[in-house]
Structure 1
Amino acid sequence: MDFLCPGDPTVWDGRRFAPCFADLVLGLGGNVVAAVAVLALFIAKRSASRTENARRRLPEKLFVFAIPSFAACLSLLGIIVLVKKKIEGIDVPNHESFFRCSQFLAWVAVLISANGPWSEILCNPIICICWMLKILLEIPHLQYTLTEMKAMAYVTEIVSFSASITFGLFLIVITAIQKLCNKREVNSIEAPLIPNNENSEAENANLVNKQHNAWELLTFKSVNPMMDIGIRRQLDFTDLLDLPAELRTTSCYDKLLSSWTAEHQKYRADSSLLRAMFYAYGWSYLRLGILKVINDSISFVSPLLLNKFIKLIQEGSVGMDGYIIAISLGLTSIIKSFLDTQYSFRLAKLKLMLRSSMMGIVYRKCLCLSLSERSRFSEGEIQTFMSVDVDRTVNICNNLHDAWSFPLQIGLALYLLYTQVNYAFLSGLAITIILIPVNKWISTRIATATQKMMKQKDERISCAGELLAHIRTVKMYSWDKLFTQRLNKRRELEVKHLATRKYLDAWCVYFWATTPTLFSLFTFSIFAIMGHSLDAATVFTCVALFNTLISPLNSLPWVINGMIDSVISSRRLHNYLSTPEHCSSELTISSDIVKDDFNRNTETIYDPTTVIIRNLCCSWSSTSTVEPQIILRDISLQLQKGLFIAIVGEVGSGKSSLLNSIIGEMSVISGSINSCGSIAYVPQVPWILSGSLRDNILLGKGFDTRRYEEVIQACTLDVDISTMIGGDMSHIGEKGLNLSGGQRARLALARALYHDSDVYLFDDILSAVDSEVASWILEKAIMGPQMKRKTQLLSTHNLQAIYAADMIVVMANGFVKWFGTLDSFLATPYSKISNPDSSSAVSATSSQKNKGPSTSEFNTKDVLDNGSVVDQEEQRDQTEAEGRKEGKVEIIVYKKYATLAGWSMVFLIFVSAFLMQASRNGNDLWLTYWVDSSSGTNNTRFYLTILAGFGIINSFFTLGRAFSFAYGGLCAAIQIHADLLGSLIGAPVSFFDQNPSGRILNRLSSDLYTVDDSLPFILNIFVANFFGLLGTLVVLCYSQVTFLLILVPLWLIYSKVQFYYRSTSREVRRLDSVARSPIYSSFTETLDGSSTIRAFQKEGFFLERFIQQLTLYQNTSYSELTASLWLSLRLQLLAGLIILFIAVISVVGFHSNSPVKFGTPGLVGLALSYAAPVVSLLNSFLTTFTETEKEMISVERVVEYVGIPQEELQGSESPDRSWPTEGKIEFEHVTLRYKADLPPALNEISFHIESGMQVW
């Protein structure tokens, strides 16, 4: 035993594993197991084919050969060093020799297998497990080796261990990919059974190849083609990156929907949306935590290396050890760059998956929610769910990992500070602890203000939606000022809570920004008062640790706020998603009557095209309402197949409610409804889809030429189509703005007839057309050959329809007062409801019912020529495609925002930010002067006084910057909303015809939210980063003059990279905005027509259409994300080179044989401590600059609408208050057109209508 472990035979020495046990048992055992496993598989697989190796890409082959070769050389070097020591007579433990030899043999075994079919040998779960076991068992050896102060051994062990970890991770990734590929090959047998695109196989192969290319994954090289296009011309959607398979919207949506459905069914009232999110994506999210730990841990390696480096400079012994540590500083920064970007990339991809799936289930809920249940939420609130709450809920992905990572980083940093300044760090810690309850109180107040603000925002958006939906009515009645006052009142309440939030945010910014400076001041002050002398190594190691503390200390309150916002938004979404869904009319809805009751009725109950209503009481209130207002009372009807039933009654008697109850849009209080077969529903206000006329008729149904032609002739649409430029493919605009009221009604009727349903529900459709067209529709459509054996319910006041009906239902005050045939109806008092104006009407209708109208008596061409159809030039599509600017955001947009915020406030912000940064740099320069001073500790009070002065100045200007930004942002937000609303109110109606309401509402919701919240936040960070970067460069040039040698080349590279990136990022953000607008337009459109969609059972069609729009939005977001990380990686690598240059040049300057000295140890420490944050400063500066430019696009979009042409007010005289005294209309040679480029719709029209006249 003495031969192997001289004087150290134990397993544990009180603090760790004994060196002998760590080397001989753990390390040797792990290496032998790994080597034997590799060689055993090599022998078993040596005859296998090597064709799989040829398929591997160059980066993979480099990993297989380069890493083992490099590691084997390191192990061999260790053996040579041990042999050299033995020759020189230095005592070397034999257990260390055995460990080195076993380590070398393990790597040799890997190299041997690499010459065989290595893809089958190394890409094996057994090898992965054995190799990871080897790594774990080498940790005790690494632990006692790192306690040595020899830099050579220190770096050699770190590099060797890192090679083992890297190779192990490589094996795991390649093995996982190979298993995935094998699974896809097996699943490909089933592929023909699944409908897919023609190019799906090629796309999947392309995706697999991209997964195999590790180098492109690490460097984001796939972005380069898009960047090349972006710098040459304006990007289009086809230029964006291909969407990875895991980001496809359909799979994301299905995953979360199934998780939420299972969660809701299992827990009901106690269900949680956040828990469903975890079940869907939780394990992928937790795996990111491993990468987060590694990334955070490496960030503390630089301060430790910096400490050793400055100590070497202070001691004057900067030989080979100095160069090794200098290079290690640069390499650490470079490695962290790759880890940081990979973590950000994977986290952002997970957020995209979650966002698309949540938007999908919110839209699905809109399709499945009946009108009665939807009454619990305002339209603006539902739109806010999609535009705001989804994003806030998804942001919990960032916050959860940060919630445990930041305290861990803070704790580790405090421990390292303890090793430098003993208990003096407790003074700084005390400040942090004191601020925790303060920040908690502020966070709670911010959450409360946010909740109130969101409530007012919902009401404002709802009011704005109402305004846009009824803009013609508002302008006709001159209600402009009334609606402006209503919106402004809601905006004032919203801004009140926004101001509370912003000023509380300002206090947070103040505490977060001053905490590191105060931490430094108190720590060094107490350390000096305790009698210790400050040296460069201690000070600048602490400064580096303070810089490491800045991010978690600044961000932790934001994380708390973000988590609170996420929980609030998730609860809002949970309440919405938990609402009972619409019950299809194919199912029986019963409350207090059992299904068996129907068995005692007539056998027509079993007819698949009958409607049976039994003791029905319905309400428009939600089922959760305690005391719902009952609209329909005790309704009992049995409607047989093939009957034409007319529903009559006074206004408000419940006719429309009866039809809505049949399609399940009302809440059933008691009783039951049963309908069999498909239903077609035509509402009183036709719902028109934004698209072509044919799209509206088909509504997702297959095209049948014969039936299509029959339908359009029956609905008198054939002549309308013949006058349109594009025929039935003409775009009819949002809500059918290019059609007249009668055309919309006939289009909705044609849609119903084309779907050949079993039951037809018509809600007063004849009131929108004149009497002749109504007669034609009644004969050819409602009573035409297509409607034989169809059950039809028509709510109407039309006499012809009433007298043509088989059965008549009389409604009054929500009751069915009478139900019977026409003859019986005429003998009742209820016949007065129809109020026939003459006996000829009855006889004419009776004659038509017996004989049917002839086409000679009614010519559709004559009617249409008389004005029911707009001229074909007028039918030209008035809806304009949403435009987007090209190139960079114009300077006038920045000036406009500065003007709105106030130029005096802008000046105050810049002065405060400049002096804040100057005082902070002055603080660090004064520390440098202190540690390099030879005055000893006699002037400690003097140094501390100056240091405290810098801290107070920094605190004052930080407070000024925070509150000036908050006030300026509020001023801009208030003014820009007022200008936008005033411009929209004053816009002509043609503007609303040319721009869908969803597009306009996007300005009032998402874009305005950016101006309110996101833009001031990003702009604040950008200004701070600008002056921070400027101050850092000045200090670097002062502390290391040689830095000027690379400043110009670095700036040229930096400018080139940022120009290359910005050209593309701007265009991608604009594409993102363009892709986002159709989502909200489609969502608003679906809200308006949800009852029609459900009646036709077209939920799947509209959901698929929305998913396609969401996929395009997902693609733009993914391209934007990848481009930003492409930039981040290159900037971090550039900063790593800066650190490497400063460290190496410092070693050259302090080398014992060098005649030139580059500064003092204090200046070297200052330079390196400032070079380390350059990684984040360079990246953060350009990122925030680009983000500011992107956020400014929202200002650009709002300003675009602020500048729209306004209505021309003719005449300067204000009418008397008594005006108008009489209803008199005069037209004198009036010529009107829909657009400037269209011919006149009215040409030289002159007429006079005197007061009291009735014109028909």
Structure 2
Amino acid sequence: MLAVSPEVKTNPLQKANFCSRLFVWWLNPLFKIGHKRKLEPDDMYSVLPEDRSQHLGKELQRHWDQEVKRAQKDAQEPSLMKAVIKCYWKSYLIWGMFTFLEEGTRVVQPIFLGKMISYVENSNSVTLHEAYCYSAGLSACVLMWAVLHHLYFYHMQRVGMRLRVALCHMIYRKALRLSSPAMGKTTTGQIVNLLSNDVNRFDQVTMFLHYLWVGPLQAVTVTALLWMEIGISCLAGMAVLIILLLFQSCFGKLFSSLRSETSALTDKRIRTMNEIITGIRTIKMNAWEKSFIDLITRLRSKEISKILKSSYLRGLNLASFFTVSKIMIFVTFITNELLDNWIIASQVFVVVMLFEALRFLSTLYFPMAVEKVSEAVISLRRIKNFLSLDEIPQLNTQLPSDGEMMVDMQDFTAFWDEELDSPTLKGISFTVRLGELLTVVGPVGAGKSSLLRALLGELPPSQGKVSVHGRIAYVSQQPWVFPGTVRSNILFGKKYEEERYEEVIKACALEEDLQNLKEKDLTVIGDGGTPLSEGQKARVSLARAVYQDADIYLLDDPLSAVDPRVSRHLFEQCIRQALKEKITILVTHQLQYLKDASQILILKDDKTVERGTYSEFLKSGVDIFSPFEKGNKQPASSPVLGTPTLMSESLVQSLPSPRPSLKDAAPEDQDTENIQVTLPLEDYLEGKVGFKTYKSYFTAGAGWPVITFLILVNITAQVAYILQDWWLAFWANVQSDLYSGALIKEDVDTMIILNWCLRVYSGLTVSTIVFGITRSLLIIYILVNSSQTWHNKILESILRASVLFFNSNPIGRILNRFSKDIGHMDDLLPLIFLDFIQLRSALE
């Protein structure tokens, strides 16, 4: 747990006035700094109190707990979606009204523009004063739309951020509380995928959610305005929109199904990748790199096939945004022509602008909302399933009425798996009070670790009871450290008190070890830091527990990983001296310390063989060594530095958490104690992205012939898109001449011109559709294929890297490349490029 630097920069949003909030002026100081130099993390403002993860997580957790209780009462499945709605409905409602106003100003703009054009065409229909009023109204609507649009997206992104942070808080909290049976129902890969991919869906779904109801409402309003403008012909164009929405509804269902399948395949790939990275040294010792590369490649191929299908659906949705307004305008004017209706320039502008307003909402935001909601529902379901897993029962550590701290277990029987005939623990009884030391001994597999797990509440009783009164500190059989300094590993979030800290260091025999480290207790250890031996990690874990100053200490064989001299020091200075006023329960195979114990509990075959003091055993003639004569040959207590230690299968099953242990040290010819490994920072680029990067990205997905073809298709689509508007204006001028009498419709030349206008306009519309869809699908194909190529390159490079690479880079950092970053390349980048190309084309 690394120290957190104090947040000294107050967030100016807290004191910003109305205008500053409206126009986001409170960010100007940050923009000025960014203009002068590169922004650093220290330049960022502190997080607002209402945006802190603890506050957000507790708030959503409260609603989730209420939903779980309601579901249990009604014998139903709890709904995480209901909890989210209850927590955030007020924010959604407020900003939903902003969306309504924003789209209202967009719809009114074509009306004002049409009146202004009518004045230019025929000044008798509109007075100059009215034209000025319409012009002012149009300007006000444009300004209001710009302000409302960006305010809405900013605040809805903030709501999405809050939801994401709250869900992350709940997932982290749940991961720390999972019971052992529940841990068998999930994997590290699934948890990583939930935190890196699934929660990110809520950043996007909140932005588009309101368009699910604003979209249909706007469509009805636009239809009414079109009817007033050109009559029944508008229904033909709206029919195109309805057909498109039906297709998009089918796409949404298919996309939801593909997303579920993709998530399951992604979980499996990430889980396998995590196992490979964790066991990379074993893989390299046996030269298994090729086999595991093939394994991940096969998993990735199945995943990418689903991703490609879902991406094609997304591409068709975005292609519809590019083409549907052109189709609607085409069908509307063709129908108008078939009905022998006239159309003038002002009507053309109004109709085109109304359809353009409808295009953004009904063919971009509405389909995006359907897609994002489908994704979010799948992610909510996956998160809900994880949050519904069983937790460890919360222990009642409050002191009894007499105030006496104690640990009491009476006739305790428990099963790890109730389907088994033999219990894990059977008929265990003992009582330990303040200042007493209970040593638990027995052969391997006798249930000693399970006994401590029962005291922690992780092994619920099927018979008997267990009472624990006081704060607990637990030292697991498998010592662990996290990435950070030695000091932060020992403090574990507690305040640094120098005198107490030095006492703990001395009691846990860490003084000499810290002297051998270059940065002393500020040396970075853990994943990617300085390697530690098993004995050193065991002492750091013990020091962490001792520094917490708990009431009850559960020590699961911490003496087995150290040599006899250090073992004696730990027992005398730490267990007997530093913890002399505590309740201590020590699991050990070091029988020489039994005579110093207040009580001895001997386990064999999951039940108590004997219980008493050392002197009582001597007086009664009980041979306390007999249970160890068979099947209890222990390995050397102090492993050779630099020699990898393998975990047994039974040990892995008894671990309290899925946290991987760093078992591997340096090569045998190196002095582990004095190795200094600096945790490297991740490289990042700043400034503009160079052409070389874009070139590498695209050429990884296809060769130059395909890319050249894509460029030609894009140019053709854009030319057809622009020419269609230009040709429509030409056709409208011809219609205006007919309307004014400048041309005679029965004239042969006029008929030829009208037929030619119709044919060219039809050809341009078909070209826009064909080339627009082809462009979308081709971009998706190239960029998804590029993602697959880069994944395979990264995989090959990672598995071919030296062991030093894995020593200096945390597992989480490596795994993040294969989860979050690859996820962005699969889903986000293809859509961003396609969206950029289409929007840029629309602006040209």
Q: Deviations over 1:1034-1081 (max 9, x none)?
A: xxxxxxxxxxxxxxxxxxxxxxxxxxxxxxxxxxxxxxxxxxxxxxxx
Give 1:693's aligned residue. 486
Are the equivalent residues in 1 in contact too, given 2:396–2:469 (CA < 8 A)? Answer: yes
Q: What corresponds to 2:29 in structure 1?
A: 225
The aligned counterpart of 1:721 is 514
Instruction: Tell me which moved more, 702-711 or 300-309.
Output: 702-711
Post-superposition Cα deviations, 1:481-536, rounded to whole Å, max 9, x if no partner, equal 34323322322222122122122223333444332222111111111110112211
Are 2:322 and 2:838, in contact at CA under 8 Å, matched by a contact in 1?
A: no
Flag the 1:716–1:242 CA change in 2: closer, same or farther, 3 A: closer
State whether structure 2 residue 670 is matched by structure 1 residue 880. Answer: no
**SS class of match (2:550):** coil
Deviation of residue 649 (structure 1)? 4.5
Alignment match of 1:291 (pick from 75, 98, 109): 98
Question: Offset of 1:899 from its aligned partner?
Answer: 1.6
Q: State the distance in 2 between where 1:974 and 1:700 align.
A: 41
Q: Which residue of 2 aligns with 1:1156?
A: none
**C-alpha deviations, 1:206-226, integer Å up to 9, x for none?**
65641x2x3322322222222
Alignment of 1:675-714 (within 5 A): 675-714=468-507
Aligned twin of 1:51: none
Secondary structure at 1:266 match in 2: helix
Corresponding residue SS for 2:559: helix
2:157–2:204 Cα contact (<8 Å) kept: no
Deviation at 1:438, TM superposition (A): 2.2
Q: 2:627 aligns with which of 810, 819, 830?
A: 830
Match of 1:274 in 2: 81
Letter in 2 for 1:800: Q
Q: What is the deviation of 1:654?
A: 3.3
C-alpha displacement of 1:375: 2.8
**Alpha-carbon distance in structure 2 between the residues aligned to 1:444 and 1:950:** 32
How far apart are residue 465 of structure 1 and its match? 2.2
The superposition leaves residues 638-659 of structure 1 with CA deviations (integer Å, 9 ceiling, x where unpaired) of 1433554444455444332332
Say if 1:631 and 1:657, in contact at 8 Å, map to a contact too.
no
Q: Give the residue type in structure 1 aligned to 2:65.
A: T
Counterpart-to-counterpart distance in 2, 1:353 and 1:533: 54
More off after superposition, 981-990 vs 444-453: 981-990
Distance 2:816 2:520 in 1: 31
- Post-superposition offset of 1:293: 1.4
Change (3 A) 1:260 1:930: same
Q: 1:889 aligns with which of 661, 664, 689?
A: 689
CA contact (8 A) 2:161 2:202 kept: no
Per the TM alignment, residue 963 of structure 1 is displaced from its structure 2 partner at its CA by 1.4
Counterpart for residue 142 of structure 2: 333
Change (3 A) 1:820 1:402: same
Corresponding residue to 1:616 among 407, 413, 417: 413
Residue 775 (structure 2) aligned to one of 944, 961, 979 = 961
Structure 1 residues 610 and 486, CA gap change in structure 2 (3 angstroms): same
8 Å CA contact retained: 2:432, 2:438: no
Cα distance in 1 between the residues matched to 2:105 and 2:595: 86
State percent identity of aligned pairs: 28
Q: Given the alignment, which residue of 248, 253, 274 partners 2:57?
A: 253
2:424 maps to a residue whose letter is L
Q: Which runs of 5+ in 1 are unaligned?
A: 1-196, 589-598, 838-866, 1031-1256
Query: 1:17-56 alignment to 2 at 5 Å?
Result: none
Equivalent residue, structure 2, for 1:1008: 822
> What is residue 537 of structure 1 aligned with on the other side?
346
| Alpha-carbon distance between aligned partners in 1 of 2:156 and 2:421, rounded to the nearest angstrom | 49
Amino acid of the structure 1 residue aligned with 2:69: Q
Contact 2:413/2:462 (8 A) holds in 1: yes
- Residue 413 (1) aligns with residue 413 (2): no
User: What SS does the corresponding residue of 2:141 show, helix, strand or coil?
Assistant: helix
Aligned mates of 1:806, 1:475 — CA distance in 2? 48
From 202, 207, 212, the counterpart of 1:403: 212
What residue is the counterpart of 2:66 in the other structure?
262
Tell me if the contact between 2:787 and 2:825 (Cα under 8 Å) persists in the aligned partners: yes
CA shift, 1:720, in A, is 1.2
Larger Rg: 1
Q: Secondary structure at the match of 1:879?
A: coil
CA contact (8 A) 1:738 1:878 kept: no
1: CA distance, partners of 2:672 / 2:186? 41
Q: Displacement of 1:437 after TM fit?
A: 2.9
How many Å separate the matches in 2 of 1:669 and 1:890? 65
Q: Give aligned pairs, total.
A: 780
Q: In structure 2, do the counterparts of structure 1 residues 813 and 431 end up closer, same or farther at CA, with 3 Å as the change threshold?
A: farther
Q: How many Å apart are 1:407 and its aligned residue?
A: 1.0
Measure the CA separation in 1 of the matches of 2:545 and 2:260: 44
> C-alpha displacement at 1:335, in angstroms?
2.5
| Residue aligning to 2:656 | none
C-alpha deviation, 1:1007, in angstroms:
1.0
CA contact (8 A) 2:56 2:162 kept: yes
Are residue 577 (structure 1) and residue 387 (structure 2) matched? yes
Match of 2:258 among 438, 443, 449: 449
Structure 1 stretch displaced more, 982-991 or 507-516: 507-516
> Residues 274-309 of structure 1, C-alpha deviation per residue, up to 9 Å, x if partnerless?
222232221122011222111111111211112212
- Cα distance in 1, alignment partners of residues 307 and 410 from structure 2: 51
Please give the secondary structure, in 2, of the residue aligned with 1:766.
coil
Question: Is the aligned partner of 1:361 residue 2:361?
Answer: no
Given the alignment, which residue of 761, 769, 775 partners 2:562? Answer: 769
| Structural mapping, 1:499-514, within 5 Å | 499-514=308-323
> Which amino acid letter does the alignment assign opposite residue 675 of structure 1?
V
User: In the superposition, relative to structure 1, how do residues 994 and 869 fare at CA in structure 2: closer, same or farther (>3 Å)?
Assistant: closer
Q: Is this contact kept in 2: 1:716–1:746, CA < 8 A? A: yes
The structural deviation recorded for 1:965 is: 1.5
Q: Is the 8 A contact 1:679 1:760 kept in 2?
A: yes
- Equivalent residue for 1:637, pick from 425, 429, 437: 429
Change (3 A) 1:762 1:251: closer
Quote how far apart the aligned CAs of 1:388 are.
Answer: 2.0
One-letter amino acid of the counterpart of residue 273, structure 1: L
CA distance in 2, matches of 1:498, 1:244: 37
Question: What is the CA-CA distance between 1:256 and the residue it aligns to?
Answer: 2.5
- Alignment CA distance shift 1:614-1:896 (3 Å): farther
Provide the C-alpha distance between the structure 2 equivalents of 1:797 and 1:825, rounded to a whole number of angstroms.
Answer: 18
Structure 1 residues 720, 411: closer, same or farther in 2, change over 3 A?
A: same
Which of 278, 284, 306 is residue 475 of structure 1 equivalent to? 284
Q: Which residue of 1 aligns with 2:452?
A: 659
Instruction: Report the alpha carbon displacement of residue 419 of structure 1 after superposing the two structures with TM.
Output: 1.5
Q: Deviations over 1:196-247 (max 9, x none)?
A: x9999x959x65641x2x3322322222222222122111123234544543
Which residue of the partner structure matches residue 20 of structure 2? Answer: 216
Deviates more, 1:928-937 or 1:951-960: 928-937
| Offset, 1:612 | 0.7
Structure 1 length normalisation: TM-score?
0.58
2: CA distance, partners of 1:616 / 1:736: 43
**2:798 is matched with which residue: 964, 984, 995?**
984
What's the secondary structure of 1:878's corresponding residue? coil
What are the superposed Cα offsets for residues 561-610 of structure 1, whole Å, 9 maximum, x if unpaired?
A: 2112111211222222233433234459xxxxxxxxxx9xxx9x995222
Q: CA deviation at 1:635?
A: 4.1
Mapped partners of 2:6, 2:799: distance in 1: 49
Residue 632 of structure 1, CA deviation: 1.1
Letter in 1 for 2:690: E
> Is the Cα–Cα contact under 8 Å of residues 50 and 56 in structure 2 kept in the other structure?
yes
2:113 — aligned with what? 306
Structure-1 residue corresponding to 2:334: 525
- 2:548 matched to which residue of 1? 755
Query: Once superposed, what is the RMSD of the aligned Cα atoms?
Result: 3.2
Q: Does 1:732 align with 2:525?
A: yes
1:1039 aligned partner = none
Residue 930 in structure 1 maps to residue 727 in structure 2: no
Question: Who is 2:665 aligned against?
Answer: none
CA drift of 1:324 comes to 4.5
Deviation at 1:1004, TM superposition (A): 1.4
Counterpart selection for 2:786 from 938, 960, 972:
972
AA in 2 matched with 1:350: V
Alpha-carbon distance in 2 for matches of 1:881, 1:1025: 37
Structure having the larger proportion of residues in helix: 1
Separation (CA, whole Å) in 2 of partners of 1:247 and 1:416? 43
Q: Contact 2:529/2:678 (CA < 8 Å) preserved in 1? A: no
Q: Which moved more, 1:361-370 or 1:981-990?
A: 361-370
Residue aligned with 1:686, SS: coil
Asked if 1:495 corresponds to 2:304, the answer is yes
